Amino acid sequence: MKRRVAILISGRGSNMAALIAAARAQDFPAEIVVVISNKADAGGLAKASADGIPAVTIESAPFGKDRAGFETTLQAVLDENRIDLICLGGFMRLFTADFVQRWHGRMLNIHPSLLPSFPGLDPHGRALRAGVKISGATVHFVTPETDAGPIVMQGAVPVHDADTPETLAARVLEIEHRIYPEALRLVAAGAAVIDGGVCRIAAQIARDGRLISPAPT
């Protein structure tokens, strides 16, 4: 039976669109059953509706700092849709530790850096200022600590000398759209399991996927 997934967004929903597209495959072990936004003007809501996915708005602004109150309303929608897994796709609101614990091992997020490097804000600018030669994106389980949960999957891209935060972000976004659906596939299929605070992947195929940047001559 396919796992029932809710995607939470606050903006354009580009990763949401990648997840919806991947879930159309007959053999994909999850189905996207609802998209929820905390902002009524989020561009992703129209995209979800156009794809035939129910789109729900729960405005967070009226709740102010009452995160628990917002989460009670959110949980009611999740319960109504019998959700098994949550995917955060640019969802710009912090959760309480109680909510995160309730969804332990069942809530995923994607961050545009190779965690544990550059968690939080401005990851691309910080990567460039640090002079890294490889950057990328990370799909991880959500924990109360920001961008610190067990890592499910990562994808890397080279960093160019002429990069700006914008050009690097665009290159990393392509990787995000590739790895988020694959990470969801692993979790939904039960192939990604948290063990001692680390995510273990069952039955991995050994591949030479080395990325060296700058490329050796």
Total residues found in the chain within this entry: 217
Q: Return the HEC string of 105-161.
A: CCEEEEECCCCCCCCCCCHHHHHHHHCCCEEEEEEEECCCCCCCCCEEEEEEEECCC
* C-alpha distances in Å from residue 176, one per residue of 70, 78, 111: 28, 25, 8
Q: Alpha-carbon torsion 82, 87, 92, 93, what sign?
A: positive
Q: How far apart are CA 154 and CA 129, in angstroms?
A: 21
Strands of the 55-57 sheet, one edge to the other: 55-57, 30-37, 3-9, 85-89, 107-111, 134-141, 151-158
- Tell me phi and psi for residue 9, to 5 degrees: -130, 165
Q: How far apart are CA 44 and CA 102, in angstroms?
A: 26
Task: Name the residues annotated as catalytic.
Answer: 111
